[in-house]
Amino acid sequence: MTTLSRLARWQASARHLKQEYDQVQGMGTMVTLRRARALAWLGVPLHAAIAGWLSQYQAAADQPKMQAWADALVGLQAGVALGLLVFGLLAHGLLRRKAGASVAGIVVQTAFCATYLAFGAAAAIQDVGVGNGIATFLVICMGTAVVSLMRPGFSAPVFAAAFVVFWTILRSSAIDTALLASLQIQAIAVVLMAQLISVMTWHQYTRTVLLQRKLERSNASLLVKQQELERLAERDTLTGLYNRRKFLQLAQQELDRRVRMPSGLCVLMVDLDYFKRVNDQYGHPMGDLVLQQVATRLAANIRSTDVLARIGGEEFIVLMPNTEPAGALNLAEKIRAAIGGQPLELPGGLRVAMTTSVGVTGLQANQTAPLNSLYSAADQALYSAKAQGRNQVVWGDVPAP
C-alpha cells in the first residue's frame, strides 16, 4: 500500500469519525451540562465550607508558609465556589430552554472545564510551595476528563492550556531546578493521561449513542413490520376489510359473549351478481376497483358495532350483534339499495351497474347455535337468493341443534 493510499484511508477515517462525532455532539453537551449542574449543587457548598474552614486556620508562628498557603486557598476555594455557582445557573438555564446542544452550550461547557482546571493548577502550585505534590491538579484533570464529554478537538486545547497555565505559574515560583524538572514530568504525564481518558470516554460514548440509535431504528422498523404482518393476518389486502379468518374469530367472540349476556345476533352474506362479467368485459384491474367501491358502500351503510369482512372473491359478510331479524332484514335491503341504486364510477368515465343477492340469518336472544351453523344458514340463504333470480334478500333459519 502506497503512502498516498494510506493518507487517503486516514482522511476517509477522519471524515467518518467527524461525522459520527457531529451526530452526538449535541447530546454529549447536554449530558455534560447536566453533570455540571449536579456538580455545582454539590461543589458550591463543599468549596464554600473548605474556604470557611481554611479562613479559621492559624498556622504556628514559625510556619509562615503554611499560613500563606491557607490564606491563598481561601481565595481559590471561594472563587471556584462562585464560578461553579455561575456555571451551574448557566447550565440550568440552557437545559430548561433546551438550548444545551447549541453553540452557547459548548461555550459554557468549555469555560466550565477551563475554570476548574485553572483552579486545580493554582491550588497545586500552592501545595507544592508547602512541600506537597500535585495531587490536586491530578484529581481535577482526571475528574474533568471523566465528567466532561469533549471530542478530541476540544479536549486537547483545553488540557494543553491547563498545562501551560500550570507550568507558567510553576516556573515563576521559587523552586529548585531538580524539583522543577520532576514536577514538569509529572504535569506532562497527568495532562497526557487526562487527554487519553477524555478521548476514550468520548469515543466510547459516541459508540454507545450511535449503537443505541441504530437499535432504536431497528426496533422501530421491526415494530412497523410486525404491525404490517398483523394487519395482513387479519385484513383483506384489496379492500382493507377484515378477512375470513378474522371474521370467524370475532364472530366466535360474540357468540361467547352471548352466553353471558343473551341478545339477538344476525349475519348477512352479500354476493355481487354476475361479477364475472365485469372481469371478462373490463379486466381484473377494473374488477378490483369495483370490489373496493362496493366495500366502501358497505362500510358506509352498516353500524359502527357491526363487523364487515370480505370472505373471498365477490362475497362479503356482516355480523350484527344485538340485532333482531327485522332489523337485519332492513339493513340487508338498505345495502342492496345502496349498491344497486347507483352505478359505480370507474376510471375513463365507465359506469358499472351492480346488483347484489343477500342471505340473512340470525338468532334470537333465547336461541343458541354454533358458529358453523350460523355461517351455513347465511350461505344457504344466499344460495336461495341467487337461485330465485338474484338482486333480492332471502332469510334462512338456523337449523335446530
Active site residues: 314
Query: How far apart, in whole angstroms, are the C-alpha atoms of residue 149 and residue 36?
Result: 11
Strand, helix or coil at 248?
helix
Host H or E run for residue 51:
helix 3-55
- Whole-angstrom Cα distance, residue 54 to residue 102? 39
CA 126 to chain centre: 51
**How does DSSP classify residue 317?**
E
DSSP 3-state of 351: strand
Q: Which residue type is seen at 138?
A: L
Bridge partners for 312 per DSSP: 315
CA 23 → CA 17, 28, 55, 137, distances in Å?
A: 10, 10, 47, 32
Q: Which residue has the cell 339493513?
A: 331
The grid cell for 47 is: 468549596
Indicate the residue type of 274: Y
How many Å separate Cα 310 from the centre of its chain? 36
Which cell goes with 52? 470557611
* Closest of 10, 23, 134, 127 to residue 77, by C-alpha: 127
Positive or negative CA dihedral for 260, 261, 263, 265?
Answer: negative
> Phi/psi of residue 98, each to 5°?
55, 35
Of 235, 269, 302, 273, the C-alpha closest to 375 is 269
Joined together, the cell numbers standing for residue 304 give: 359502527
The whole-angstrom separation of Cα 145 and Cα 150 is 8
